């Protein structure tokens, strides 16, 4: 008979999974099902498929890996709720580094030292893994010799492609003729793909609706490349970091470990070059929106302007930036309220001898109290919640509340819930106060203009 922990260790080697202290399926059974909580993304989908096709247990058992695929934004909450409820649903969990301490302190993860010490294969795997990955993803406390898991793919980039297009003989011939390079189809060809070819792929497969595409036509506008991105966790920032590092930039002052602090993201010429490379490729990707400009697109020129004018890390710089970005939105929003004003009333005031200044201040503005209140609240929320510019352009003495909240997430103990709760409470007070003071005008303001005359 093979022990539960032996099988558990063999299955989790090479991936960032953790053994739970819950009872697993009886290994004496012919069929063993391992239930694993994992984020719903490409690597874990591939892991389940690859494991169930190729893994053969030395014990002779038929072992099947079953994932509970959970969306990344809600992953921590779902897993934490399961572990703390005591339902013993999972034998393994994919956990991000900032959550390890929280789960271990709660007694939910199994210490693996004695199993690693008894298994030469696991010892070899741990020895072959880069120390930085082992320290960040397997140990607790950080850099100790207490092992609770195995590093998974540390921010691995996975490429998904359509074989019906990339392996299409006609498309491959046209690509070869146009770019003098091979359109990657096989694994060997993808291994040799560089960023120049990647950009060529994005340009090559950019097709308008109705254009020829493979053996058919594009049903909609078609784009050659795309990245996984989103507000949940750090999808967007990790894409940018990869380009920054490849161009020789850095976001950490590693010389002062273990007290190193983030020194910013776009903080050097190399980082600017890497960021620009990322933005250049975004032009070949599906648009985030067709009506508004994503703020990240303009961060490079804004950063350069701030650096040249000495505004980086200053209050006046952030104030001017927020004013510049909120002004168009505020004008656009308040215009709809002006459009609802009666021109006859204004004309009557002019006939009574009122000046244009008087018409504006005495006739128009009093009717716009609701609109001004609604616009003010929306502008406050946009500024108060803004994170990207505050993260990149403020300093340690001028950072905003959203940036301060982000700093409570991570580290050995995961989320500092007490500090985070205190910050959120203070964060909400100004918004509640302004909303309370303007509440008599808000309902009218947010519905103003919804009924056309």
pLDDT at residue 33 greater than cutoff 60? yes
pLDDT digits (tens, 9 = 90+) for 100-129: 888 888 888 888 999 999 999 989 988 888
CATH code where residue 348 lies = 1.10.3720.10
126 inside domain: yes
296 inside domain: no
Q: How many CB atoms lie within 10 A of CB 391?
A: 17
Strand order in the sheet with 17-19: 17-19, 92-94, 31-39, 62-70
Quick one: which of 141, 395, 399 has its CA closest to 258?
141
Residue 257 — pLDDT band, cuts 50, 70, 90?
Answer: low
Specify the pLDDT at position 317.
Answer: 86
The token pair that represents 1 in the structure block: 């008979």
- Pair 315, 442 in one domain: yes
Q: How far apart are CA 453 and CA 450, in angstroms?
A: 10
- With respect to residue 382, please indicate whether it lies within any of the assigned structural domains: yes
Please give the average per-residue pLDDT across 201-224, as a whole number.
Answer: 94
Query: What is the domain-level CATH number for residue 63?
Result: 3.40.190.10
How many structural domains does the chain have?
Answer: 4
315, 417: one domain: yes
Mean pLDDT of 40-57: 87
Q: Are residues 342 and 420 in the same domain?
A: yes
What average pLDDT does the chain have?
79
State whether 329 and 406 are in the same domain: yes
The pLDDT of residue 288:
62
Of 285-299, 306-320, 385-399, highest mean pLDDT: 306-320
Q: Is residue 303 part of a domain?
A: no
| Residue numbers of the domain that contains 260 | 235-286
Residue pair 435/442 in contact by the 8 Å Cβ criterion: yes
Contact 203, 262 (CB under 8 A): no
Residue 274 lies in a domain: yes
319 has pLDDT over 60: yes
Domain boundary among 94, 120, 137: 137
In a domain, 358, yes or no: yes
Q: What pLDDT shows up at residue 157?
A: 63
Token pair 């850099």 is at which residue? 143
112/210 same-domain check: no
Question: Is the pLDDT higher at 105 or at 443?
Answer: 105
Buried b (16+ CB within 10 A) or exposed e, 293-305: eeebeebbebbee
Q: Residues 35, 125: one domain?
A: yes
Q: Would you say residue 152 lies in a domain?
A: no
Looking at the structure, tell me whether residues 127 and 242 fall in a common domain: no
| Burial of 243 from C-beta contacts in 10 A (0-12 / 13-18 / 19+) | buried
Residue 263 pLDDT > 60, yes or no? no
Residue 70 lies in a domain: yes
Backbone φ, ψ for residue 224 (5° rounding): -75, -35
| Winning range, highest mean pLDDT, from 194-198, 353-357, 374-378, 408-412 | 194-198
pLDDT at 259: 62
């Amino acid at each position: 008979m093979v022990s539960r922990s032996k099988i558990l260790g063999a299955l989790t080697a090479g991936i960032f999974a953790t053994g739970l202290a819950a009872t697993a399926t009886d290994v004496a059974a012919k069929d063993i099902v391992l239930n694993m909580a994992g984020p719903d993304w490409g690597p874990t989908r591939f892991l389940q498929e690859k494991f169930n096709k190729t893994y053969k247990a030395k014990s002779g058992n038929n072992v099947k890996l079953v994932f509970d695929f959970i969306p990344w934004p809600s992953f921590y909450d779902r897993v934490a709720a399961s572990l703390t409820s005591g339902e013993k649903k999972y034998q393994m969990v994919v956990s991000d580094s900032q959550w390890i301490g929280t789960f271990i302190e709660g007694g939910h993860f199994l210490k693996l030292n004695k199993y690693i010490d008894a298994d030469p294969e696991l010892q070899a795997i741990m020895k072959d893994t880069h120390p930085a990955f082992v320290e960040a993803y397997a140990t607790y406390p950080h850099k100790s010799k207490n092992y609770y898991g195995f590093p998974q793919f540390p921010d691995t980039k996975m490429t998904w492609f359509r074989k019906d297009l990339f392996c299409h003989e006609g498309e491959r011939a046209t690509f070869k003729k146009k770019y003098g390079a091979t359109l990657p189809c096989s694994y060997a060809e993808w291994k040799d793909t560089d960023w120049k070819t990647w950009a060529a792929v994005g340009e090559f497969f950019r097709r308008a609706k109705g254009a020829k595409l493979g053996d058919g036509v594009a049903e909609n506008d078609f784009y050659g490349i795309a990245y996984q991105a989103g507000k949940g966790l750090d999808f967007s920032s990790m894409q940018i970091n990869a380009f920054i590092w490849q161009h020789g930039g850095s976001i950490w002052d590693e010389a002062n470990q273990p007290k190193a602090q983030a020194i910013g993201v776009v903080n050097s010429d190399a980082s600017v070059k890497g960021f620009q490379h990322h933005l250049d490729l975004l032009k070949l990707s599906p648009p985030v929106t067709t009506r508004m400009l994503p703020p990240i697109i303009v961060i490079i020129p804004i950063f350069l302007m701030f650096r040249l004018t000495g505004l980086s890390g200053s209050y006046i710089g952030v104030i001017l930036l927020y004013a510049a970005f909120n002004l168009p939105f505020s004008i656009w929003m308040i215009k709809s309220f002006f459009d609802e004003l009666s021109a006859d009333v204004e004309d009557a005031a002019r006939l009574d001898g009122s000046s244009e200044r008087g018409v504006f201040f005495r006739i128009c503005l009093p009717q716009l109290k609701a609109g001004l209140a609604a616009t003010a609240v929306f502008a406050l929320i946009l500024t108060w919640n803004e994170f990207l510019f505050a993260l990149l352009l403020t300093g340690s003495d001028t950072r905003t509340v959203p940036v301060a909240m982000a700093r409570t997430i991570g580290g050995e103990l995961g989320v500092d819930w007490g500090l985070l709760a205190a910050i959120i409470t203070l964060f909400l007070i100004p918004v509640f106060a302004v909303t309370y003071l303007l509440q008599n005008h808000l309902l009218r303001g947010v519905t103003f203009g919804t009924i056309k005359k």
